Amino acid sequence: MMNKRLKEKAGFGALAVLTFLAVVPVLAIIGYLVWQGWPALTWEFLTQPPRKFLTEGGIYPAIIGTLALTVGTIMVAMPLGIGTAIYLVEYAGENVFNKLIRIAIINLAGVPSVVYGLFGMGMFVLTLGLGRSLAAGALTLGILTLPIIISTAEEALLAVPDNYRYASLALGATKWQTVRRVVLPVALPAILTGTILGIGRAAGETAPIMFTAAVVYTPRLPDSIYDQVMALPYHLYAISTEVPNVSQHMAFGAALVLLAIVGAMNLVAVVIRTRMRLKRLR
């Protein structure tokens, strides 16, 4: 009996240590990033274009480029993703077409980001002739984000009790009236949470935009969707591998800003979700 107990203590104890060992160093490294990057975050760094082959100046065009790409991604992925989820949850029965849609979504979710990059380049940059541009990058990132948005929106719609749908239909509402006036408003916070999480992921992607939208250096801010842009993730890649003589703290500064943008999006999503939970408890 003693032996059994000892074995149990040792087993679970080892797992606790493992969890600690896996999580703490990673958090420490991120802490180090914040510590190293913090001094670089000056007003000039955030609002000026880079100078002298990216070794001096700021990252303003990269920040703007990433924000522009993010807005574009939302415009591509949100209508398609939410529309698909509405179809799957509210309209689709069981037939071959719907099965195919599900298989396609599962497989799209597994396609590596660099393959999306290849596709974006072949399709949007070359075949459709958009060139290396904001539009091509946003379309590529939008498609990459689509599966995440579909699956979270689908979950959100499934979580709406059927009671609401029945009540609305029994009052003589049509299906679409029911979806638009009852189901969507109830599901909206959860849909937004998922969408923001998905878009946050897209904002940090590098491989899909490096052949479709991003350039190492341009002092110009984009003024049309056909312009090429700087983007933070690609900028970070470039200054930490390809561009010589970039000071350590500028690279850490760029990494910290990227992390902050992505983190801020996640934070917004979490806040929406928490408020939703509290509301439900009340």
Partner 1 sequence: MCDKNKMETRNLNLYYKGFQALINVSFPVKENTVTALIGPSGCGKSTFLRTLNRMNDVIDGTRIEGEVLLDDENIYDAEVDPVVLRKQVGMVFQRPNPFPMSIYDNIAYGPRIHGRKNKDELNEIVEKSLQAAALWDEVKDRLHKSALGLSGGQQQRLVIARVLAVDPQVILMDEPASALDPISTAKLEDLIHQLKSSYTIVIVTHNMQQAARVSDFTGFFLNGEMIEYSVTNTMFTAPRVKQTEDYITGRFG
Partner 2 sequence: METRLSNYYEKGIKYFFGLIAGTSILLLFLIFSLLFREGLGVFSNVGVMDFILGTRWLPVSETPFFGALPMIIGSIIVTLGAGMLAIPAGIGIAVYLAEVAPRSVREVAKAVIELLAGIPSVVYGFLGLTVLAPVIKDLLNLPSALTAFTAALVLAIMALPTVVSISEDALDAVPRDYREASLALGATKWETTVKIVLPSARSGLMAASMLGLGRAIGETMAVLMVAGNAMIIPHSIFDPVRTITASIAAEMGETVQGGLHYQALFGLGVVLFTITFVINLITDLIFTRTSSVKRGTSL
Where along the sequence are the contacts to partner 1 (CB under 8 A)? 93-94, 161, 163-174, 177, 181-182, 185-186
Q: Which of 67, 259 has the CB closer to partner 2?
A: 259
Which CB sits closer to partner 1, 71 or 171? 171
Number of chain residues interacting with partner 2 (CB under 8 A): 87
Nearer to partner 2, 18 or 167 (CB): 18
Judged by beta carbon, residue 140 or residue 178, the one nearer partner 1 is: 178
Which CB sits closer to partner 2, 48 or 240?
Answer: 240
Choices 39-47, 155-163, 198-206, 218-226 (CB under 8 A): range interacting with partner 2: 198-206
Provide the minimum distance between the beta carbon of 176 and partner 1 in the complex, in angstroms, as a whole number: 10
Q: Show the tokens assigned to 28.
A: 């420490």
Does residue 32 interact with partner 2 by CB under 8 A?
yes
β partners of residue 214? 229
Residue 149 CA to its chain's centroid (Å): 9
**Stretch touching partner 2 by CB under 8 A, among 45-53, 185-193, 200-208, 218-226:** 200-208
Is residue 61 within 8 A of residue 230, CB to CB? The reply is yes
Which range, of 50-58, 158-166, 181-189, 259-267, touches partner 2 by CB under 8 A? 259-267
Partner interacting with residue 277 (select from partner 1, partner 2, none; CB below 5-8 Å by kind): none
* Partner that binds at residue 48, options partner 2, partner 1, none, CB closer than 5 to 8 Å by kind: none
- By C-beta, is 101 or 276 nearer to partner 1? 276
5 is a site residue for partner 2 (CB under 8 A): yes
Asked if residues 216 and 238 have their Cβ atoms less than 8 Å apart, the reply is: yes
Q: Which of 182, 152, 189, 166 is nearest to 280 (CA)?
A: 189
When the beta carbons of 172 and 244 are compared against partner 1, the nearer one is 172
Min separation Cβ 41 and partner 1, Å:
43
User: Which entry of partner 1, partner 2, none binds 43, CB below 5 to 8 A by partner kind?
Assistant: none
- Residues between 115 and 174 with contacts to partner 2, criterion CB under 8 A: 115-119, 121-123, 126-127, 143, 146-147, 150, 174
